[in-house]
Amino acid sequence: MAGTWDVIKGKWNQLKGEARIQWGKLTDDDWDQIAGNRDKLVGRLQERYGWEKIEAERQVDDYFRRYDDSNTGR
């Protein structure tokens, strides 16, 4: 999914609106600081939801997988 994060980062302002619904505990400041960075998003989810790193990574990857699928024609 590495290439996917280039796409996500480029469209971050569009995509973060939908993602805010998914992860409502993140603040506006969180979203601005994340700025399309996967590691920052994972870290903030760990902080706000109390998840282990592996769970936060799974949540992020599952949520954004559709962008990977759309880029590979699935």
Tell me how many domains the chain contains: 1
What span, in angstroms and rounded, lies between the C-alpha atoms of 32 and 10?
14
* 8: containing domain: 2-72
Whether 70 has a pLDDT exceeding 70, the answer reads no
Q: Is the pLDDT of residue 55 over 50?
A: yes
**50: exposed, middle or buried (C-beta count within 10 Å: 0-12, 13-18, 19+)?**
exposed
CATH for 12:
1.10.1470.10
5 near 36, Cβ under 8 Å?
Answer: yes
> And the tokens for 24?
């409502």
pLDDT at 59: 95
SS3 27: coil
pLDDT digits (tens, 9 = 90+) for 1-52: 556 788 888 888 888 888 999 999 999 999 999 999 999 999 999 999 999 9
Kindly report the pTM of this predicted structure: 0.84
